[in-house]
Structure 1
Amino acid sequence: MRQYPYLKPANSPFVDRFITKAGDLIEAWDGREAGDVGIVGVPLSKSSISHSGAAFAPGSIRKALRAFSTYSMEEDLDLNDVRITDFGDIQMHITDIMESQQRIERVLYEIFAGHRESLPIILGGDHSTSFPSISAFTKANGRVGIIQFDAHHDLRNLEDGGPSNGTPFRSLVEKNIIEGTQLVQIGIRDFSNSREYRDYADEQGVTVYTMKDVRERPIVELVNEGLKKLSDKVDAVYVSVDMDVLDQAHAPGCPAIGPGGMDSQTLLEAVSYLGGQTNVKAMDIVEIDPTVDFRDMTSRTAAHVILQFLKGKRIGGLL
């Protein structure tokens, strides 16, 4: 077969023999044992209160992982030997949100229970996906504590709109899957919630750190304090990262953008620290709409959230 110099397949990326891209670590699940990390896409956003294309986020986050290397300059460590299994995306029902949530819970339970040595990272979707995801994780792991990064409480009542991206933690409490004392919220923002839901959080024993707390105290101090509140109550900790915890300048691709939020470095520092904790066993990333993002900024930050989480695991000897 005839060949020509300097020709390569169309749209193929530049390759540097000395750099491993994070996306290169991902391999499609072959039906056998999963790798060190297992990612699952949960492309549901029809349950969003506001317009949202978050169903497209799992693909955009995977794409963003191909933009970064596996080497941490700050810690002088390389994640190039981490095996990441991609289980693919859970197929959503076209019109039935409740059916979609049931599918999420059923599939994720099978993955959580069947691949216990694999660290699960769930790619949403809107925040409604955390309800079936945490429900499944609880079935597989016992009492679960939650560290939630979010601008909103997500404790809305279920009467006004049914299960939505504003109700996942209300659903978990009201269905007795968790108690309020098993939930720690970080980054709750001014003019983004109501007194009724703050009162509900207080009544249920939810630990709430506002953005004022984040501004006035070191983020690792807050996270560690939250973990201590959970330590004697739970068997495992699940981290839920709603990307709208970030200021709109740092996350333009969130459906519910707003000023006064967290900067990306603060979130990355917190996630890296959480990765190093033995009892932190899973993470989800939600609320990115790639259709309104700017130069994939928000998906790229989400990719960094994953890498910082894995870096923390490696530093802690957990990966």
Structure 2
Amino acid sequence: MTLVCYQPPAAPWEGRMDGDDPASLRWHQYIRRADISREGLPVLQQGRKGIALLGFASDEGVRRNKGRTGAAAGPAAIRKMCANFPIHFDDHILVDAGDIVCDGNQLEMAQEALSATVNYILKEGYLPVLAGGGHEIAYAHERGIRRFTGTTQQLGIINFDAHFDLREPDANGPSSGTGFFQMAQDRAAENMPFHYLALGIQQNSNTRKLFQTADTLGAEYLQASLFQLKYRDQLLGAIQAFIKRTDKIYLTTCMDVFASPYAPGVSATAYNGLVPDALFLDCYRTVLRSGKLAGTDIAEVNPSLDQDNRTAKLAASLVYEIVMNYFAV
């Protein structure tokens, strides 16, 4: 396929070597690299699942949103932290499909390239797992999924995020904070419902107007203050009910949803964000194990602001959860 803004996988993954026997392998020894602009993705044989890891090297949306830039280096940092994960699955394919790169301020061009690539990945039978990059990844990823699913299926959007990202684009154009508003506008133009569930919303990080916009658009949300063990049944019940009303799910995670000790390397840190504990994983795995996952991404990893790779390691651990749960479903 012909792709603009596309960069093939860089040098081979590197990591710890414990041997070449199947029981000793790590991701860097197992993952395939594919230049999808030339050779495409490996053909999936019957009974095998595939995951294509694609980076979105962009923080132009963060810059337009007046945030702290540096997330364009996020995909490389996430890959590096994934390299030493052990292999606990058989007969499935894990592919590094390279990056879509935003050149300068050409965000819209990069988003279009990402949408087209996501559509291609899905047509080849793979699950797109995207690594960002700013949260401008969301609009492009979701649009690529909709291109594949069409308008006959109800696509639900689940966003783990401290922010609604429901701002209206201004004179600077779309940004990392406008993606879900753009999705809502697209749905209205298609005369389709807007199924949006935001999890981890912070009252101190969203204006009254944004809460009003969420209500006007029919968005559902659960604030970060509900992520306590005593509310576990309420949380899981809300997520399960949302999933039940949809045919497919697009799952996106902005790393600023987590408390700053766990995710310091983001544009907007939160002292009281979510803790990546068993309760969070119960909620996250409920989505991953739904059997409806059409695509997922992790956004806002900024290595220049990280400490001891904490944010990149947490993001990589979420990629590990995605891979293990998708291959197990």
TM-score by length of 2: 0.83
Read off the aligned partner of 2:249 and give its amino acid letter. V
1:149 to partner: Cα distance: 0.1
The alpha-carbon distance between structure 1 residues 171 and 100, as it changes in their structure 2 partners (threshold 3 A), is same
Q: Which residue of 2 aligns with 1:242?
A: 254
Q: Deviations over 1:212-257 (max 9, x none)?
A: 222265557524423423423x321010011111001110111111
Bigger Cα displacement from structure 2, 213-222 vs 268-277: 213-222
1:160 to partner: Cα distance: 5.5
1:95 to partner: Cα distance: 2.8
Query: What is the alpha-carbon root mean square deviation over aligned residues?
Result: 2.3
Q: Deviations over 1:101-156 (max 9, x none)?
A: 222222222222x212x121011111111101101101102331011000000001
Task: Give the whole-Å Cα distance in 1 for the aligned partners of 2:61 and 2:241.
Answer: 33
Q: Deviations over 1:44-68 (max 9, x none)?
A: 1111021221111111111101233
1:115 aligns with 2:129: no
1:85 aligns with 2:85: no
Q: Which residue of 2 aligns with 1:158?
A: 169
Q: Secondary structure at the match of 2:253?
A: strand
Task: Give the whole-Å Cα distance in 2 for the aligned partners of 1:216 and 1:103.
Answer: 41
Check conservation: 1:220, 1:273, Cα contact below 8 A: no
1:94 aligns with 2:119: no
Bigger Cα displacement from structure 2, 162-171 vs 15-24: 15-24
Q: Which residue of 2 aligns with 1:6?
A: none
The alpha-carbon distance between structure 1 residues 81 and 251, as it changes in their structure 2 partners (threshold 3 A), is farther
The alpha-carbon distance between structure 1 residues 137 and 13, as it changes in their structure 2 partners (threshold 3 A), is closer
Q: Which residue of 2 aligns with 1:308?
A: 321
1:47 aligns with 2:49: no
Check conservation: 1:285, 1:302, Cα contact below 8 A: yes
Q: Which runs of 5+ in 1 are unaligned?
A: 1-11, 71-77
Q: Which residue of 2 aligns with 1:129?
A: 137
Q: Which residue of 1 aligns with 2:80?
A: 63
Check conservation: 2:136, 2:177, Cα contact below 8 A: yes
Task: Give the whole-Å Cα distance in 2 for the aligned partners of 1:98 and 1:158.
Answer: 12
Q: Secondary structure at the match of 1:307?
A: helix
Q: Which aligned pairs between 1:25-44 and structure 2 lie closer than 5 A? A: 25-29=30-34, 30-31=39-40, 32-33=42-43, 36-44=50-58
The alpha-carbon distance between structure 1 residues 281 and 274, as it changes in their structure 2 partners (threshold 3 A), is same
Q: Which aligned pairs between 1:1-319 and structure 2 lie closer than 5 A? A: 13-17=15-19, 19-29=24-34, 30-31=39-40, 32-33=42-43, 36-48=50-62, 49=65, 50-70=67-87, 78-79=88-89, 81-112=91-122, 114-116=123-125, 118-142=126-150, 143-159=154-170, 161-176=172-187, 181-215=194-228, 217-219=230-232, 221-232=234-245, 234-265=246-277, 266-315=279-328, 318=329
Read off the aligned partner of 1:20 and give its amino acid letter. L
Count of residue correspondences: 296
Q: Which residue of 2 aligns with 1:73?
A: none
The alpha-carbon distance between structure 1 residues 293 and 23, as it changes in their structure 2 partners (threshold 3 A), is same
Task: Give the whole-Å Cα distance in 2 for the aligned partners of 1:215 and 1:181.
Answer: 28
Task: Give the whole-Å Cα distance in 2 for the aligned partners of 1:161 and 1:191.
Answer: 25
Task: Give the whole-Å Cα distance in 2 for the aligned partners of 1:188 and 1:104.
Answer: 27
Task: Give the whole-Å Cα distance in 2 for the aligned partners of 1:242 and 1:38.
Answer: 20
Q: Deviations over 1:8-45 (max 9, x none)?
A: xxxx7542235322333321125242661111111111
Read off the aligned partner of 1:26 and give its amino acid letter. I
Identity of aligned residues (%): 23
Check conservation: 2:199, 2:222, Cα contact below 8 A: yes
The alpha-carbon distance between structure 1 residues 88 and 192, as it changes in their structure 2 partners (threshold 3 A), is same
Q: Secondary structure at the match of 1:47?
A: helix
Check conservation: 1:188, 1:210, Cα contact below 8 A: yes
The alpha-carbon distance between structure 1 residues 226 and 159, as it changes in their structure 2 partners (threshold 3 A), is same
Task: Give the whole-Å Cα distance in 1 for the aligned partners of 2:207 and 2:172.
Answer: 16
Task: Give the whole-Å Cα distance in 1 for the aligned partners of 2:284 and 2:179.
Answer: 21
Q: Secondary structure at the match of 2:206?
A: coil
1:82 to partner: Cα distance: 3.6
Q: Which runs of 5+ in 2 are unaligned?
A: 1-13
1:272 to partner: Cα distance: 2.5
Q: Which residue of 1 aligns with 2:3?
A: none
Q: Secondary structure at the match of 2:61?
A: coil
Read off the aligned partner of 1:16 and give its amino acid letter. D
The alpha-carbon distance between structure 1 residues 195 and 57, as it changes in their structure 2 partners (threshold 3 A), is same
